[in-house]
Chains A and B, each alone.
Chain A
Amino acid sequence: MNRGPSWFNITSMVMGFAFLYLPILILIIFSFNESRLVTVWAGFSTKWYGELFRNEGLMDAAWVTARVAFVSASIATVLGTLAAITLVRFGRFHGRTLFSGMVYAPLVMPEVITGLSLLLLFVAVNFDRGFWTVVIAHITFSMCFVAVVVQSRLVSFDASVEEAAMDLGCPPGKTFFVITLPIILPAVISGWMLAFTLSLDDLVIASFTTGPGATTLPMKIYSQVRLGVTPEINAVCTILIALVTIGVVTASIVTKRQEIERKRAEAAAVRADEPQQV
């Protein structure tokens, strides 16, 4: 009956993908451009990648960004995980609705407002703006994403597993580290990765809360682009895209392989059980 996809389907798919990925593809192609002009093709070259690594401003910014992302993602993961556990495991405590609302508010808060309010706060308490103010700001807005990811895992996770551990003599604190954490670890890791990429990507909040000596890569790129796009920028973007792609592809391959393994094991288990049921 099914004669494969229709022309309509193929066209809409091609156009959809083109819409999503054509700009990125062009960016990647032009990062290998020989010419100094971004929009004129003058032959293949990798010289801008070399230029990039000699550009101290960009490299500094990249290093700052990586550090900010790592530190803020790690702290946001701890806090977000704690918030998720509170929301899922502690039932209906007083002020639960308020608490969950406040945890999730940054999800929908316009970045400009988050950035501006944090700036006002730092000024008010006379906190020197720099690396740590950016880190704090990034924790504030990425924590809620971690909380969402971890919460969805906790909801689907049978609480009686924790009860079983306690029933067998394991105190609650230890139960968290030997039972709960290993089980929810994949969600915690993906929460960390989400927080990391959000921090990597952020321009608005970082611009508000940064100070001298703490320019992040997006800020650097943005300020350079205002003076005109250079092929160096294309090169740095291509590297970022490559990193993200490798990360995503690896993660999905690992997940897929685990799933296949699990299905095979389950099938084996059923086969092993059959003779006993005769």
Chain B
Amino acid sequence: MVTKGTAAKKAAPRKTAAKAAPRKAAAASARSKAKSEASSGQPGKVGPVRRTFAPWNDPAAKPFILYENITKRFGDFVAVDDLTLGIYEREFFSLLGPSGCGKTTLLRMLAGFETPTEGRILLDGQDISTVPPYRRPVNMMFQSYALFPHMSVADNIAFGLKQDKMPKGEIADRVDEMLKLVKLEPFKTRKPHQLSGGQRQRVALARSIAKRPKVLLLDEPLGALDKKLREQTQFELTDLQQQLGLTFLIVTHDQEEAMTVSDRIAVMNQGNIIQVSTPAEMYEYPNSRYVADFIGDINLIEGTIASVSRGKVTVETADAGKLVVNQDLKADKGQKAWIAIRPEKVRIALKKPAARTDNVMSGEVWDIGYLGDVSTYHVKLPAGSTVKALQTNATRLIERPITWEDQAWLSFSPDGAVVLLS
């Protein structure tokens, strides 16, 4: 078991999280899809559909949590900058961004530990900006778990219920129910320091949902767990959220985690929200280079707009001449633009693809990253930039494998790429 663990850890750094994410997310969604019959894929939508739950597309739906023109300053530092965001009931919403982007501040403002400098926060239509944390119907799971070290597991879980003056018998029942939910019944009388990291995490989770809060806030909930335990817990979290019908707001810097668990993701940078959308939309249609680069792995080819027509954009690039993308885009001729294409959507071959006339590039194989299940080929184009292509290693033996210094042909479909203007 120990050797297994170390082997997994050794392999992990080679497989960048960026590449693992989309496949992981797809698997997660497929699993959920199998479970709920209601979710049949909607035509014209990207990515697998987790469930037919999309109140954000319904203009009549009212957000359950509403951040209204929120600004938060710490001295001269602007942590959150005039931000407006609506989160719907029963939604699993992720705030994703690098450290210092304001995501934790946003969470702490909802919990009541920080007061907005400007703007207000509405919960179920009520302004809660001035309500102290101990009177808010939201509970938080802390990054450090923040378990009470001098109390047993059962007392930790019962703490919030005791504050509500719940009758003793009911408290005992609820604690048992929670222990069962997180599978910690045998550890009821243990103290937090007698538990492992994974067990502590589950106690923290049980404690934060014991009061049945309207909203559960999770601050980097899985950050302290090792990779395997983290993956397992991600699925447990989504199951739990559906089972309890709670609204979850999670803060993370791990895009893989965000993609696996969320209904919608907000990518943040420097106190602003850059894009809010479902994981699949975020991955397939990023709205900027920042998001494209932050979520997963992507090739960005710089160029200028050559022509724009209905549903079709042509971009003139130094690396590969004219490239075509099927996209409705408002842009001017000559404007600077980037073609963003995911490595798994780039095909690589030794012969020039006969079927394609557009979007074909040729270059020298510069590097190959063999990850077992897939290989990444880094191909250097004549003008100097490198394009990555991802290929599944579907068979064990290949007659003529692509190798270093081969001249290879890259191609992609006009449907597979996006043109970004910023």
Contacts and interface: CB of A to CB of B under 8 A. Distances in A.
Nearest to B2: A274
B146 A158 contact: yes
Contact of A278 (B1, B150, B208): B1
Given A167-B139, A269-B194, A269-B195, A160 B146 contact: yes
Contacts of B135: 169
Contacts of B228: 277
B52 interface: no
Given A262-B193, A277-B5, A168 B146 contact: no
Interface string B123-155: 000000000111100111011101111100000
A278 B232 CA distance: 12
B146 A161 contact: yes
A182 B160 CA distance: 18
Interface size bracket, B side: 35 or more
Interface residues of A, number: 28
B159 interface: yes
A168 B193 contact: no
B199 A167 contact: no
Interface in B295-343: none
Contacts of B229: 277
Contacts of B111: 163, 167
B230 to A, nearest CB: 12
Contact of A164 (B1, B142, B150, B190): B142
B58 interface: no
Given A160-B142, A163-B113, A277-B229, A169 B191 contact: no
A153 to B, nearest CB: 13
Interface in B325-384: none
A171 B165 CA distance: 13
A268 interface: yes
Interface string A131-161: 0000000000000000000000000001011
Contacts of B1: 274, 277-278
A168 B137 CA distance: 9
Interface string A259-278: 00010011011101110111
A165 B113 contact: no
B314 to A, nearest CB: 53
A183 interface: yes
Contacts of A166: 112, 132-134
Contacts of B147: 161, 164
Contact of A170 (B134, B140, B196): B134
B196 A168 contact: no
A269 B196 contact: yes
A273 B142 contact: no
B388 interface: no
Contacts of B149: 161, 183
A166 B199 CA distance: 23
B253 interface: no
A183 B146 contact: no
B198 interface: yes
Contacts of A182: 150
Nearest to B149: A183
A183 B159 CA distance: 16
B146 A163 contact: yes
Interface in A35-87: none
A278 B160 CA distance: 34
A165 B194 contact: no
A168 B191 contact: no
A268 B159 CA distance: 25
A273 B133 contact: no
A116 interface: no
Interface in B220-237: 228-229
Interface in B141-199: 142-144, 146-150, 159-160, 163-164, 187, 190-191, 193-196, 198-199
Interface in B361-413: none
Interface in A235-278: 262, 265-266, 268-270, 272-274, 276-278
A172 to B, nearest CB: 8
Given A161-B148, A163-B133, A168 B207 contact: yes
Contacts of A165: 148, 159
B50 interface: no
Nearest to B4: A278
A171 B134 contact: yes
A193 interface: no
Interface of A: 158, 160-161, 163-172, 179, 182-183, 262, 265-266, 268-270, 272-274, 276-278
25 contacts: A158-B146, A160-B146, A161-B147, A163-B111, A163-B140, A163-B146, A164-B148, A165-B148, A165-B159, A166-B132, A166-B133, A167-B133, A167-B139, A167-B140, A168-B159, A168-B207, A168-B208, A168-B211, A169-B164, A169-B211, A170-B163, A276-B198, A277-B5, A277-B198, A278-B1
Which 5 A/B pairs are nearest by Cβ-Cβ distance? A168-B160, A169-B163, A273-B196, A164-B146, A265-B194
Given A164-B140, A169-B164, 13 more contacts: A160-B143, A160-B144, A163-B133, A165-B148, A165-B159, A167-B134, A168-B211, A169-B134, A169-B135, A272-B187, A277-B1, A277-B228, A277-B229
